[in-house]
Amino acid sequence: MAFASLATNTTEAFVTLATNDDYSLGALVLGYSLREATTSKKLHCMITEQVTTPVREQLQRVYDDVSIVDVLASNDEANLALIGRPDLALAFTKLNCWRLTQYSKAVFLDADTLVLRNTYRALLHKATTEGSFDGADQGLLNSFFSGWREASSAFRLSFIYNVTGGIFYTYAAAYKKLRDQVKIVHFIGTQKPWRGGVGIQMPEFAQIWHRIYERHVAGTVPGSSGTGSQD
Ligand code: UDP
Ligand code: MN
């Protein structure tokens, strides 16, 4: 009978990570964006001890489960300095996702992503990783799944599942054509929507991020106003 329970483990989830209150603002907006996209899957946010109590309470309002994980650091300051992202030292912590064995499938989304449309089916059939060898998590994942580049295209996601500012810049024509199909926006780099400031990448999508923020997050946690909303 002990094995029978394994067969019933069919719960599937979207998972994110926030190691501090700053990234938690991103995780909150991501969670609400998934709710607004009417996901039928569980939402799970991994946090570390650093996240403060009022912020944890807000995360619990939108995520089905908020679990505390240990920090995994890459200890590779040299390479992170090379790519100009010392802030990514903790990004290895997302590998804790593989320990969430209560789910039969889990899709990890960075806290700086925004879901615009229901993405679930294609994501689970095609989810894989991308990036470069860089001292952060992407480098590690790429070496582990080193066959992905040669694997069939069924293992890759279309660009509409990870739309970044750089891609828009390089592929303006593709953006124009696919803008209305974009499913997941990813605000990569040090400038995040919740940090405000000028020159925010992809202003059109940053505005959607800010609208969700204003609807659900602003004023609910200490310091959660004044992110430079462009509305
Ligand atoms: N992250 C975190 N705390 C940190 C750095 C990263 O929680 O100090 C998590 C968060 O989910 C974030 C992801 O790791 O979205 C990857 O970092 P980031 O999005 O800043 O990298 P980028 O997409 O800009 O390369
Ligand atoms: Mn990111």
> Which whole number is the average pLDDT over 17-32?
97
pLDDT tens digits along 83-134: 888 777 777 788 888 899 999 888 899 999 999 988 855 555 555 433 334 5
Higher pLDDT, 224 or 100: 100
Q: What is the mean pLDDT of the chain?
A: 79
**What pTM was computed for the model?**
0.82
52-61, 75-84, 171-180: range with lowest mean pLDDT: 171-180
Question: How remote is the CA of residue 113 from the centroid of ligand 1, in Å?
Answer: 10
Does the beta carbon of 110 sit less than 6 angstroms from any atom of ligand 1?
A: yes
Q: Report the pLDDT value the prediction gives residue 145, as an integer from 0 to 100.
A: 55
Q: State if residue 16 touches ligand 1 by the CB under 6 angstroms criterion.
A: yes
Residues with CB under 5 A from ligand 2 (ion): 110, 112
* Residues 66-104: b if buried by 16+ CB within 10 A, e if exposed: beebeebebebeeebeeeebeebbbbbbbbbbeebeebe
> Do residues 197 and 191 lie in contact, with contact meaning Cβ atoms separated by under 8 Å?
yes
Q: Check if 90 has its Cβ closer than 6 Å to any atom of ligand 1.
A: yes
Residue to mutate (ligand 1; options 68, 88, 190; most atoms within 8 A of CB)? 88
